[in-house]
A and B are shown apart, each in its own frame.
Chain A
Amino acid sequence: MIRNGVEIRDNFAEAFPMVGTRLIVTADTPDWALTAGRVTTGFATSVIGCGCEAGIERVLAPEETPDGRPGVSLLIFAMDFKQLKTVVPLRLGQCILTCPTTACYAGVETGKRVPLAKTIRYFADGHQISKKIGDKRFWRLPVMEGEFVCDEDTGSVEGVGGGNILILARTRGAALRAAEAAAAAMGKVEGVILPFPGGVVRSGSKVGSKYKGLFASTNDAYCPTLRGTVPSQLTADTGSVMEIVIDGVSFDAVAEATRVGILAVCDIGAEGGVVAIDAGNYGGNLGPFHFKLREIMANEGDVA
């Protein structure tokens, strides 16, 4: 399949199940909400080394938030529920509680409960105030700047981690421009995050390593500098590859992000230096979710 001169390879992205949750973080100003969002999701690119994958899902207008202030919604994913219950309170306590003017609310009502103020409330040393409305309880913690308001817990979803596309381009500049365009388009899809820096991964990995104890290593088949020395997936005119990794609350959300990402890359086209779009496929051993690129793009028409 070729679109605007870009080959969409007959491959699939292989993704795995993750458990995730959504937090709504508000603050007095959009800047402080974004600051809280950025630090909370910082160092959360890959479960391989960070314990979770997290990102800002979208920016929220005041009328969309529980307390009428500007906010952001964050998605945090972990490999299992136990891990999620560990990382969320840690990030809440270190990055949201500490950030000026913030409040933190549940962004998912269903599923197993992930503790928020249920544990953090003890920071208030007995001065914490609880309010239960219906079945929902929130807490007010006196802090030096005023009060930190936080829901007792949030729900969780069984999501999908590791959806991806690989952008093969003639030069590093072309690969980066295409990746930026794709990340911008994919970031607008609700229910997904692109956890890597700016949404883009330059060090995509394969499963396993020659070194004992390493779970992952550089995806040598897509490293241009190794072309010819290892079994390569790169054509002679490919000089750089960027990957975009997608975590989502559902298969459909990841598939939609994949679709809009490929469209954005194809809009740049061969003239913009893009050679092909591929996906990370690990022989079916990594996970049960397969995002088949050509199936996802089958209804887009204009193949040329």
Chain B
Amino acid sequence: MSGVSLKPRATLEARVDLSGITPAVTCPLTLRELEGLSVPYGAKSVPLAELFFIEGAPEGVLLIEIGDSRLDGVGAGMLEGELIVDGVVGAWAGRGMGGGVLRIAGDAGDFLGAELSGGRIELAGNAGAHAGGATSGSRRGMSGGVLKIGGNAGPRAAERQRGGLIVIGGDAGEGLATDMIAGTASVGGTIGPLMGRGMKRGTVFTRTVPELPAGFVDTGEQELVALQLLARRVPELKAVIGQSTRARRLVGDTLLGGQGELLVPA
């Protein structure tokens, strides 16, 4: 398996769906074979070589040298290998990913990591709406893996999440963890209104208590052994948990019988 580098020939004039272009697909192919690979571009399909200069890259890596907000589905369905984007991406990046690593140096559009089931996504910038959430009409969002967002996340991140870990370094928009089924989310900054409505289970870590829906019940500050266990087993949570062994625990959405929790380490 060798590596492949894609460098846009010019600014994209229409949206490109790269959801079929993963390291597992590109790396076994020769550069000549890759040139003919067909990708949806606006209303038509074009050979990959019409949009990108195609060159070699380190083994197992698919590198997109210059990102573009019109590049949709980057890393979608990826199962192995490493996909690196040196810039921004459009919507659906890492959608349904089951393994491998997706690194994005810029911002991402809506539905980043939607229905992620494994692997790891690292976004340096901001994410759009529904990060780690469910796609339209789907009942379950992200179920496994790690989605790390360096900046802010838009509305409805972690919606219907049922597993895995979402770490948001900055702020989370409105409706974080709406209808969350299980899993863990962590927010380093502030959380927008209406967090956790319909939350069944799952955990959201944060530093300050946000404005919560009526269904949340404050159980007070608790001594939780799991805090330091998580801080040790999950390096991504160390930043928000620190050395704390106590946390304020707010449970909800009790209006719907839910037992999700918001933990604010003391």
Partners in one complex: yes
A contact set with B: CB distance below 8 Å: 26, 66-69, 101, 103, 127, 129-133, 136, 138, 140, 146-147, 149
Q: Is the CB of A131 within 8 A of B201?
A: no
Residues of B contacting A26 in the complex (Cβ-Cβ under 8 angstroms)? 225
Within 8 A of A (CB), among B213-266: 222-226, 228-230, 232-234, 259, 261
Residues of B contacting A129 in the complex (Cβ-Cβ under 8 angstroms)? 201, 203, 259, 261
Q: Is the CB of B226 within 8 A of A66?
A: no
Q: Is the CB of B184 within 8 A of A131?
A: yes
Q: Is the CB of A131 within 8 A of B230?
A: yes
Residues of B contacting A132 in the complex (Cβ-Cβ under 8 angstroms)? 144, 163-164
B182 contacts partner chain A, Cβ-Cβ < 8 Å: yes
23 residue pairs A–B, Cβ–Cβ below 8 Å: A66-B232, A66-B233, A67-B228, A68-B228, A68-B232, A69-B225, A129-B201, A131-B203, A131-B226, A131-B230, A132-B163, A133-B230, A133-B233, A133-B234, A136-B233, A138-B229, A146-B222, A146-B223, A146-B225, A147-B222, A147-B224, A147-B226, A149-B229
Q: Is the CB of B232 within 8 A of A140?
A: no
**Considering the chains assembled together, what is the distance between the CA atoms of A236 and B164 in angstroms?**
70
**Considering the chains assembled together, what is the distance between the CA atoms of A127 and B260 in angstroms?**
10
Residues of B contacting A138 in the complex (Cβ-Cβ under 8 angstroms)? 226, 229
Minimum CB–CB distance from B34 to chain A (whole Å) comes to 33
Minimum CB–CB distance from A146 to chain B (whole Å) comes to 5
Residues of A contacting B201 in the complex (Cβ-Cβ under 8 angstroms)? 129-130
Q: Total contacts A to B, CB within 8 angstroms?
A: 50
Residues of B contacting A136 in the complex (Cβ-Cβ under 8 angstroms)? 233
Q: Is the CB of B182 within 8 A of A149?
A: no
Q: Is the interface of A mostly helix, strand, loop or mixed?
A: strand
Residues of A contacting B233 in the complex (Cβ-Cβ under 8 angstroms)? 66, 133, 136
Minimum CB–CB distance from A124 to chain B (whole Å) comes to 11
Known: A69-B228, A146-B222; 17 extra A-B contacts, CB below 8 A, are A67-B225, A69-B225, A101-B225, A127-B259, A129-B203, A129-B259, A131-B203, A132-B163, A133-B230, A133-B234, A138-B229, A140-B224, A146-B223, A146-B225, A147-B226, A149-B226, A149-B229
Residues of A contacting B223 in the complex (Cβ-Cβ under 8 angstroms)? 146
Q: Is the CB of A103 within 8 A of B229?
A: yes
B contact set with A: CB distance below 8 Å: 144, 163-165, 182, 184, 201, 203, 222-226, 228-230, 232-234, 259, 261
Residues of A contacting B203 in the complex (Cβ-Cβ under 8 angstroms)? 129, 131
Q: Is the CB of B229 within 8 A of A67?
A: yes
Nearest residue (CB) in A for B259 is: A127
Minimum CB–CB distance from B205 to chain A (whole Å) comes to 12
Q: Is the CB of A66 within 8 A of B224?
A: no
B225 CB contact (under 8 Å) in A103, A130, A133: A103
**Considering the chains assembled together, what is the distance between the CA atoms of A66 and B182 in angstroms?**
23
Residues of B contacting A149 in the complex (Cβ-Cβ under 8 angstroms)? 225-226, 229
Minimum CB–CB distance from A66 to chain B (whole Å) comes to 6
Minimum CB–CB distance from A129 to chain B (whole Å) comes to 7
Residues of B contacting A101 in the complex (Cβ-Cβ under 8 angstroms)? 225
Residues of A contacting B226 in the complex (Cβ-Cβ under 8 angstroms)? 67, 131, 138, 140, 147, 149
Nearest residue (CB) in B for A132 is: B163
Residues of A contacting B232 in the complex (Cβ-Cβ under 8 angstroms)? 66-68
Most buried by B among A66, A68, A138: A68
**Considering the chains assembled together, what is the distance between the CA atoms of A303 and B99 in angstroms?**
60
Closest 10 CB pairs of A and B: A67-B229, A149-B225, A68-B228, A67-B228, A103-B225, A133-B233, A149-B226, A140-B226, A146-B223, A67-B225
**Considering the chains assembled together, what is the distance between the CA atoms of A132 and B146 in angstroms?**
11
Residues of A contacting B164 in the complex (Cβ-Cβ under 8 angstroms)? 132
**Considering the chains assembled together, what is the distance between the CA atoms of A146 and B225 in angstroms?**
9
Minimum CB–CB distance from A287 to chain B (whole Å) comes to 39
Most buried by B among A26, A130, A133: A133
**Considering the chains assembled together, what is the distance between the CA atoms of A299 and B7 in angstroms?**
66
**Considering the chains assembled together, what is the distance between the CA atoms of A131 and B230 in angstroms?**
9
Residues of A contacting B229 in the complex (Cβ-Cβ under 8 angstroms)? 66-67, 103, 138, 149
Residues of A contacting B224 in the complex (Cβ-Cβ under 8 angstroms)? 140, 146-147
Nearest residue (CB) in B for A151 is: B229
Residues of B contacting A146 in the complex (Cβ-Cβ under 8 angstroms)? 222-225
Residues of A contacting B222 in the complex (Cβ-Cβ under 8 angstroms)? 146-147
